[in-house]
Copies of this chain bind each other. A is one copy, B any other.
């Protein structure tokens, strides 16, 4: 049963990555994604993991776009890897034994227009010893708060959860997302949230059905926002603010994101892990938005997450 689920999950993730790339290319015909099929055998071509912890073999596909009219930088990745966990692996993982395997689809899109929100999605299956589970989620990171956008994004994800209520409680998954995408040093969430879960194991395939549905809903959750705002007028002020918000995105990913730090500290494929980085990010000293400004409205909701 476990083997079955892993293969089915991997096939679904690969197909989803392909479908998303095709849809994004249709939405932004100014550029094509570059497609890198990679294979990893032991440590060939990669620096050893600095903290040891895990050795990986496997394969994957990294699709990347840069300099598009809609997407200034974006990546969609599929991977299927296996390896040994050593005793000092920098991660707490259920199950027993030192062998594990993992497959997943992940995506981060950094739009050019500051009114189109950054979006992230990742779904994965991990197995260790006799245990297997799903994890992942999707979250939206606007530079400017737009209530309708946030409601639409959360609405799509809520509907998916309600269709799989036996394995996914939307309220819990939404709260887990606010808790996870949190920059404690800024007392801010990364964005307006979405859903997040880990260690989901229903033992009967209902978990896979939910994960598939959540992945399949991605385009519906985000593309309408992109279509609506991609031509919104903006100027230097909005672009500056976008740069600073992208700086916070970098801070979260490099300081707090478990996937990023685990990957980098165990010698994962750097270019694939750092697909999540924005094309440009900026830092300014002590730049708080003016009270009552659109920029301040965003920060308010990052400090106090809302129910959408």
Q: Is A304 an interface residue (CB 8 A)?
A: no
> What is the minimal beta-carbon distance from A248 to any residue of chain B, in angstroms?
11
> Among residues 33 to 51 in chain A, which have CB atoms less than 8 Å away from a CB atom of chain B?
34, 36, 47, 50
State whether A271 touches B254 (Cβ < 8 A). no
Q: Is A250 an interface residue (CB 8 A)?
A: yes
**A186-B270, A261-B255 known; A275-B281 Cβ under 8 A:** no
CB-defined contacts of A274 to chain B, threshold 8 Å: 283
Mask, A218-256, CB within 8 Å of B = 1, is 000000000000000000000000010001001100110
Give complex CA distance A281, B284 in Å.
12
Give complex CA distance A275, B285 in Å.
7
Give complex CA distance A73, B271 in Å.
28
Protomer copies:
2
Give complex CA distance A264, B282 in Å.
18
**A47-B187, A50-B185 known; A282-B279 Cβ under 8 A:** yes
> What is the minimal beta-carbon distance from A134 to any residue of chain B, in angstroms?
27
Q: Is A66 an interface residue (CB 8 A)?
A: yes
Q: Is A265 an interface residue (CB 8 A)?
A: yes
CB-defined contacts of A193 to chain B, threshold 8 Å: none
Give complex CA distance A66, B66 in Å.
28
Contacting residue for A66 out of B36, B187, B255, B284, CB 8 A: B284
Mask, A252-296, CB within 8 Å of B = 1, is 001100000100110100110011011111111110000000000
> What is the minimal beta-carbon distance from A278 to any residue of chain B, in angstroms?
7
> What is the minimal beta-carbon distance from A54 to any residue of chain B, in angstroms?
14
> What is the minimal beta-carbon distance from A7 to any residue of chain B, in angstroms?
29
> What is the minimal beta-carbon distance from A280 to any residue of chain B, in angstroms?
5
> What is the minimal beta-carbon distance from A255 to any residue of chain B, in angstroms?
5
Give complex CA distance A186, B75 in Å.
20
Contacting residue for A34 out of B278, B281, B285, CB 8 A: B285
Interface residues of A (CB under 8 A from B): 34, 36, 47, 50, 64, 66, 73, 75, 184-187, 243, 247, 250-251, 254-255, 261, 264-265, 267, 270-271, 274-275, 277-286
30 inter-chain pairs at a CB distance below 8 angstroms, sorted by A residue, are A34-B285, A47-B186, A50-B184, A66-B284, A66-B285, A73-B283, A73-B285, A185-B264, A185-B265, A243-B280, A247-B277, A250-B250, A250-B254, A250-B281, A251-B254, A254-B255, A255-B255, A255-B261, A271-B285, A271-B286, A274-B283, A275-B285, A277-B283, A278-B283, A279-B282, A279-B284, A280-B280, A280-B281, A280-B282, A281-B281
